[in-house]
Structure 1
Amino acid sequence: MPPTCPFNSKNEVMNGISSNDIVQDKLIPIPSHLKQSKYGFNAFLLLLQYVTPFHLIAMGLFLSLFLPTTIIAILSFAFFLYPLIKQVLRYYNYLPVPYSECIIRSTYSARCEGDFVVFLIGIRPNGANPLTKSFKEIVAAFQKMIAELEADRTLGYMGGDLYVSANSRKSATMYVQYWRSYEALQKWTHTRLGTHVKIMSEYMKTDRFEGVNGIWHETYKVRDGEYECIYGNMPPMGLALATQAVYETKLNNGSKRMQQRQKEKEAQGF
């Protein structure tokens, strides 16, 4: 199990610094294990495209045909009480809220020196069968690509996170990635023996024409200092997780955060 996050779960931030003593732009160290996408990553998220509450209800009703009434009553009672008891215990602070130790109990922003790239990529199963060979291959390939990027930071990949869509009409998933430069992204995607080239070669042979799985991406170049972000009482995430997290004492200060990097550069003589 990875080490716990260095953030206090009370009304304090790490190292006993109270929220009243926070120094704006002070760097917040983030454990390296939080920067890995496999932290909380579920390999079967894409199955949510197919599995609905109706499937689960139907499965329960089907099993009830083969189990004694007493067993069904015990199981129903247990499945109902277990999450309810856990929630009550969390409410009265007898159990911690999941990942509550990872929350930065303050307001913070992100600091990234230099230009960077935001890369969005996602897939959508278009067929009705979640057990097709191409579906399983594309899930495995996606995980393999992320593992390769996280294993070698010299490739230019800074970090990212996976999101599941609430709109089944569009992409089933979206992975938000942050790259050091567009050149680094292009170099990795076009490396002859790289994972991405092999995967895309297979996709071009089959899914490109059959359309069983859809795939998309968008790329955005962000110039140095031309970004703004704010996080309040959140775990390390987004650009702050991929680069650096710094304390931010003011919430409604978007325009000044946008200008902050330019002021830093001017102070350094750039």
Structure 2
Amino acid sequence: MAHYARTTSEPTEHDIVVFLIGMRINKPWRPDAWLPAFAAMPRMLAELSADPDSGLLGYRTLIGAGGPLVVQYWRDRESLFSYAVDASGEHRPAWAAFNRRARRVPGAVGIWHETFAVGEFETCYGDMPPAGLALALGTRPVDGRNTDARSRLTRPGAAA
């Protein structure tokens, strides 16, 4: 098994936008109502990941008791908002189709999202490959200048 050094994420000169999006399957016996929404997310993530100019820096997909959750890291708010309304991308058609199904089978699936514009953040990873924000921004070693959380807490434009 590989041994990984203690690392932190690279600093950034701008706010990071963290976008959480999840779904809750309320009627598991109605996959016709929730499976298309579940299947749409990988297509959107593939589309965004293939386009470095999209603004998506990285993401994590999690499955928990409340259902699937995707944590997305975005370069800025405008990139996220632009993707949400882009009629030529995967999101708009998937959103319209979801709304049509939701009207046909009310309450079958719940969806939610939360958006956070983060001006300061701190990360630390020990004995693991890059994950989360470090995977999105890149890593650097924890050394004499950034050994504690206070020294790693970064503000956009701050010296590293």
TM-score, reference length from structure 2: 0.88
- Gapped regions of structure 1 (runs ≥ 5): 1-99, 266-270
What is the SS of the residue equivalent to 1:186? helix
1:119 maps to a residue whose letter is: F
Residues 249 and 126 from structure 1, CA distance in 2 versus in 1: closer, same or farther, beyond 3 angstroms? same
Residues 254 and 127 from structure 1, CA distance in 2 versus in 1: closer, same or farther, beyond 3 angstroms? same
1:116 and 2:16 correspond: yes
- Gapped regions of structure 2 (runs ≥ 5): none
1:133 and 2:32 correspond: yes
Of structures 1 and 2, the larger Rg is shown by 1
Which residue among 74, 79, 87 is the counterpart of 1:184? 79
Counterparts of 2:90 and 2:136, CA distance in 1: 22
Deviates more, 1:111-120 or 1:177-186: 111-120
What is the SS of the residue equivalent to 1:217? strand
Q: Give the aligned partner of residue 148 of structure 1.
A: 47
RMSD: 2.1
Relative contact order, CA 8 A, sep 6+: which one is greater? 2
What is the SS of the residue equivalent to 1:206? helix
| Aligned residue pairs, count | 157
Q: CA deviation at 1:260?
A: 7.7
Residues 184 and 262 from structure 1, CA distance in 2 versus in 1: closer, same or farther, beyond 3 angstroms? closer
Runs of 4+ in structure 1 off by over 6 angstroms are: none
Which residue among 98, 105, 112 is the counterpart of 1:216? 112
Deviates more, 1:106-115 or 1:204-213: 204-213
Residues 186 and 106 from structure 1, CA distance in 2 versus in 1: closer, same or farther, beyond 3 angstroms? same
TM-score, reference length from structure 1: 0.54
Structure with the higher fraction of residues in helix conformation? 1
Q: How does 1:1-270 map to 2 (within 5 A)?
A: 100-101=1-2, 105-113=4-12, 114-129=14-29, 132-165=31-64, 168=65, 171-207=66-102, 210-223=106-119, 226-249=120-143, 253-258=148-153, 263-264=158-159
Residues 155 and 264 from structure 1, CA distance in 2 versus in 1: closer, same or farther, beyond 3 angstroms? same
Give percent identity, aligned residues only.
Answer: 32
2:143 maps to a residue whose letter is: T
Counterparts of 1:112 and 1:177, CA distance in 2: 18
